Amino acid sequence: MRVLGIETSSPQGSVALVEDGARVSARTHRQTGAHAEALVGLLDQALADAGWTRAQIDRVAVGVGPGSFTGLRVGIAFARGIAMGIDVPLCGVGSLEAMARAVPPEVVGQRWSMVDARRAELFVGAYSVDGREILAPRAVRTGGVESLLPKDEDFVVVGEALAEAETRWPTHRSPTSDLPHALWTGIAGASSNRSADPAYVREADAIVPVLPPSPLMER
């Protein structure tokens, strides 16, 4: 099984090629607002590294958030285009789940993935060592995170968003867990049956206002 993973839910964008659950190649960028421009180049570079063609991809997996509204739309549209173009299945993978999967299995305890959601909030989700969802992704005020953490079980906080809390809570940091990464999207995507619909969790920052009828409209 050869899987293309795509992840654009955060300021970091990435693509990865995975074969039978193992990394073959991966490329990453972190240029603000540049996912749309960067994805084609990242994919071409990853394919060149692997010595694959697009036709050799068996499945496409894309991170579905929560995260940046614009980033999610760009990544999902790109993934759909690739999957349709080469006629292979497309699936979604939760972006916080991908972060949790990046924690090595020998690390004990629940994986609490956290990413910056702006508005003084974090997107938070919790997973068991074997990937079972313990807490569905949600937006939480930064000061309210501690009340959610388990009191009587081991846990580890995953992600760069709470790096300053390292002295209070056990944390795991790595290049593929600090933010959602396509490598783990691809690994999880090999067995995912989730649709590639975005998981926004909360309303968009920009809301179209509901205006009263125009006085110029016909009655």
Confirm whether 124 is domain-assigned. yes
Full domain range(s) for residue 151: 102-172
Alpha carbons 113 and 172: distance in angstroms, whole number: 10
In this structure, the answer to whether residues 70 and 8 fall within a common structural domain is yes
Q: What is the DSSP letter of 190?
A: T
The radius of gyration computed from the CA coordinates of the chain, to the nearest angstrom, equals 19
Is there a single domain that holds both residue 68 and residue 148?
no
**C-alpha count within 13 angstroms, C-beta hemisphere, residue 6:** 33
* Helices and strands, number each (H, E), in the chain: 4, 10
What is the domain-level CATH number for residue 70?
A: 3.30.420.40
What is the greatest pairwise CA distance in the chain? 69
Answer yes or no: do 42 and 127 share one domain: no
- Whether the predicted pLDDT of 16 surpasses 90: yes
The CA distance from 101 to 169, in Å, is: 19
- Please check whether residues 55 and 69 belong to one and the same domain: yes
Q: Is the pLDDT confidence value at 49 over 80?
A: yes
Model confidence, pTM: 0.89
pLDDT tens-place string over residues 22-42: 999 999 998 878 899 999 999
Report whether pLDDT(17) > 70. yes
Residue 217 lies in a domain: no
Instruction: Say if residue 26 is in the same domain as residue 131.
Output: no
Same domain, yes or no: 51 and 74: yes
* Structural domains of the chain, count: 2
